[in-house]
Chain A
Amino acid sequence: MSQNASRSQTPAFWRDERLRGWFFQAVLLAAIFYVLYSAISNARDNMQARGIPTSFDFLGHVAGFGLNQSVIPYSPLSTYGQALLVGLLNTLLVSALGCFFATLIGFSVGAARLSSNWALARLAALYVETIRNVPLLLQLLFWYVAILAPLPGPHESFALPAWRLAVPGAAPALAALVFAALGAGLLFLARGRERRAASGVGVTLAARIGGVALVLAGVALASFGGFGGAGLAHREGAAGLYLDNRGLTIPAPVFAPAAKWVALALGAAALFSFLWRLFARRRQKAEGLFMPVWPVAIAALILLPLAAFFLTGRPITLSEPILNRFNFEGGLRLPPEAFALVLALSLYTAAFIAEIVRGGVQSIGHGQSEAAAALGLRPAQTRKLVVMPQAMRVILPPLVSQYLVLTKNSSLAVFIGFADLMQVSGTILNQTGAAVQVIAIDMGLYLLLSMLTLLLVHLYNRRVTWSAQR
């Protein structure tokens, strides 16, 4: 008997990949559904048994607790919903300040790490390694408990002295000129002799150090004029910046009604800069003419509002903080909690940003800077025109994700009592017990922030992927 030739081509149903896949997914979905269902019903039962509110109505109840800092008016008679709003605004404020300072410090430290000066590079590396390997909470507690809390009270606060420009006295000015001349002469001498190899290395090195020291001494004399203060920069009273255990007090800006013209001028300058940039880029592409963008933009952003400021009769003034019996009145005060949080977050994230910057710049191959040098560009021009634009493309996505990490790290405020979103939620949780609702709101807000940021990064990535990726 011959075998039945018509063998079925489809495999048995338990071997079919597609069927197995569907079956497995069905089981997975059923399991997830079951777990969620039992979790939710358990939660409902438990919450009803313990008298915990099961809806969001409690958000309209009176909070009954105060908050140390809020950007909007808040009192213990405000509602829970308003307390959460205050928390959210505080989180955004601290994150914005932290991101700003972290970027500033991070880029500086990153540039320092790439510097050819060995001492500076090593110092920056020490900073980065130390900060990156100590937990953020420890750094935050260190700043708050060990540095800011033991500061003296308002009557003995550290004050920034006010420096004003004055005409320097004759003696310091003369001494300054003499020192500067001597120092410059020494430097030239050292350079000349070194070029001709007329002196040993040690001697020229010592001469160079001496020359630099003399020039610096001259500058210092001209500015500060010895201990008598008869130099260019004159100490006179306090500048209105005070640091004590109640916080950092700075002068507060007071806006007269005419200040809106200054704001309008600022807006107009921003618009103008944006349009100028478009125009300059188009002109450059069409005709190859190199039109300066940043100098014009910065000039517009500074000069236009300044002109509006003076033309409308100086509508913005600074109100100096005055020390009364207990505290400073009249200035803006940043409580030590907020100050410590911003400080710790900035320094910590700056270390990571420095590494990102360093990695970004080093990822640009050597060939780029060598080719630029071959074309005759100076090192500064190479950096500005060739290396940094390419490096920025590599740096931006991890930089933005570091901003996100900073925003999430700002939740450490619960440890020092700063009224950010998590801390306020914790207080509301303790008072009402409505854990599910409060945590759902928290998570929702943080997820919203993450999603927005990820969307921006995604759009940016799409914009730059037209360029050839190696």
Chain B
Amino acid sequence: MPKAPFSLSAVSRLLAFLFGAALLFFGAARADTLSDVKQRGSLICGVNTGLAGFGLPDDKGAWTGFDIDYCRAVAAAIFDDPSRIKFVPLSGKDRFTALQSGEIDLLSRNTTWTQSREAGQGLLFAGINFFDGQGFLVRKKLAIASALELSGASICVQQGTTTELNLADYFRTHGLKAETVVFATADEAIKAYDTGRCDVFTTDGSALYSERAKTLRPDDHVVLAETISKEPFGPVVRQGDDRWFNLVKWTHFALLDAEELGVTQANLDVMRQSSNPEIRRLLGVEGNYGAGLGLTADWAARIIRAVGNYGEVFDRNLGARSPLKIPRGLNALWTKGGLHYAPPVR
């Protein structure tokens, strides 16, 4: 049957790889992602194929999500226009090769920061923007207070994921016995949980909320308090480009600092008139801290104008103003009992 032997994305990937190899060969700094982005006029951001709350396209192809907003923040910092982005949906298998080969500039795809990924694959994690961990979803009417009461239960998991291994470790450590029922996809697993095939459903904590929304009556289910693994998500860039790495990292810190200082999308203009020196430095009224990043002085103000501060980004996509209603928990600021602590802009 007649068929195009190469797909378009494969060709472009190949060309991108050859281009990168050529640059290396000619000794030019392979990294100057910021110049490339500015020259191109848009940021290429690698995102999830479809995960509610983090990166999800709607029917018309418009993207929304927590990771999407991070891409928008970086684009706003560079161009003052959060829409100059090209989103590239990537599966779990090819997300890192796309970043390494230069096909994308930034990977914002709920990727867990692990040593093997950073040291072994030539990547850098520009901070932790979401502290996640594996959790359990159970029915409210079972009145289970903690995961330690789950001995003897049937637990639905997706086959072949770290979820399975974490579960086995946790139960072995606490001397509990449970029956795991494995399914090929997460959709099948949550459907089986909903029909009563198992008593518990387990996956990453953030995904638990979006999967709960898929059940027939989401209010009948509750997420247990226990988190049995560490899954810190963060944006990922290539090694070898320090300026780009700093840019992305400080975009994240700017969002946190803005929330800490109380600057929101709404009161941005008012806050510009503030006498608080920290706010003035953040918004670029005093000093030019963007120059070192290759940006303008009002780089943080651009970010906040585009997406708001971290709390607003969280609320809109994952928290109170979203269907998921994930509590801040560990993702609150250090002043509110969470783990987010950003260095100051000075």
Contacts and interface: CB of A to CB of B under 8 A. Distances in A.
Direct contact of A and B (CB under 8 A): yes
Interface of A: 64-68, 75-77, 149-150, 152-153, 245-246, 324-327, 329, 335-336, 417, 427, 430-431
Given A66-B182, A417-B184, A427-B159, A153 B196 contact: yes
B183 interface: yes
9 contacts: A64-B165, A66-B159, A68-B181, A76-B168, A77-B165, A149-B197, A246-B197, A325-B149, A326-B154
A152 B160 CA distance: 28
Interface in B93-137: none
B96 to A, nearest CB: 14
Given A245-B195, A327-B152, 16 more contacts: A64-B160, A65-B159, A65-B160, A66-B157, A66-B168, A68-B181, A149-B197, A246-B154, A324-B152, A325-B153, A326-B150, A327-B199, A336-B197, A417-B183, A417-B184, A431-B160
Interface string B151-180: 011100101100011001000000000011
Going nearest first, the 4 A-B pairs with the smallest beta carbon separation are A65-B160, A326-B153, A153-B196, A66-B182
Interface of B: 142, 149-150, 152-154, 157, 159-160, 164-165, 168, 179-184, 188, 195-197, 199
Contacts of A326: 150, 152-154, 199
B100 to A, nearest CB: 14
Contacts of B168: 66, 75-77
Q: Kindly name the residue among A335, A417, A431 whose own CB sees the greatest number of chain B CB atoms within 10 A.
A: A417
Contacts of B183: 417
Contact of A327 (B164, B179, B188): B179
A77 B197 CA distance: 25
A140 to B, nearest CB: 16
Contacts of B142: 325
A66 B180 CA distance: 8
B196 A325 contact: no
A150 B192 CA distance: 10
Contact of A150 (B154, B184, B195): B195
A112 B195 CA distance: 39
B164 A66 contact: yes
A337 B237 CA distance: 44
Nearest to B179: A327
A68 B157 CA distance: 11
Q: Kindly name the residue among B142, B150, B168, B181 whose own CB sees the greatest number of chain A CB atoms within 10 A.
A: B181
Contacts of A66: 157, 159, 164, 168, 180, 182
A67 B182 contact: yes
A76 B164 contact: yes
B197 to A, nearest CB: 6
Contacts, number: 59
Contacts of A329: 152
A65 B165 CA distance: 8
A327 B159 CA distance: 22
A65 B153 contact: no
Contacts of A335: 181
B254 to A, nearest CB: 39
Contacts of B152: 324-327, 329
A65 B184 CA distance: 10
A335 B199 CA distance: 15
Contacts of A245: 195-197
A68 B192 CA distance: 14
Given A149-B195, A326-B199, A417-B184, A64 B154 contact: no
Nearest to A337: B181
A298 B152 CA distance: 42
Nearest to B198: A246
Contacts of B165: 64, 76-77
A326 B198 CA distance: 9
Contacts of A324: 152
A152 B196 contact: yes
A329 B181 CA distance: 16
Contacts of A67: 182
Contacts of B197: 149, 245-246, 336
B182 A65 contact: yes
Contact of A427 (B150, B153, B160): B160
B328 to A, nearest CB: 31
Contacts of A327: 152-154, 179, 199
Q: Kindly name the residue among A77, A324, A327, A336 whose own CB sees the greatest number of chain B CB atoms within 10 A.
A: A327
A431 B159 CA distance: 11
Contacts of B179: 327
Q: Kindly name the residue among B153, B180, B196 whose own CB sees the greatest number of chain A CB atoms within 10 A.
A: B196
Contacts of B164: 64-66, 76
Contacts of B184: 417, 427
Nearest to B158: A65
A301 B150 CA distance: 45
A290 B157 CA distance: 63
A335 B183 CA distance: 13
A77 B179 CA distance: 16
A440 to B, nearest CB: 22
A20 to B, nearest CB: 37
A50 to B, nearest CB: 12
A246 B178 CA distance: 14
Contacts of A430: 160
A76 B165 CA distance: 7
Q: Kindly name the residue among A152, A246, A427 whose own CB sees the greatest number of chain B CB atoms within 10 A.
A: A246
Contacts of A246: 154, 197
Nearest to A150: B195
A242 to B, nearest CB: 14
A149 B195 CA distance: 8
A325 B141 CA distance: 12
Contacts of A77: 165, 168
A427 B159 CA distance: 9
Contacts of A336: 197
Contacts of B180: 66
A67 B188 CA distance: 15
A150 B197 CA distance: 9
Nearest to A335: B181
B154 to A, nearest CB: 6
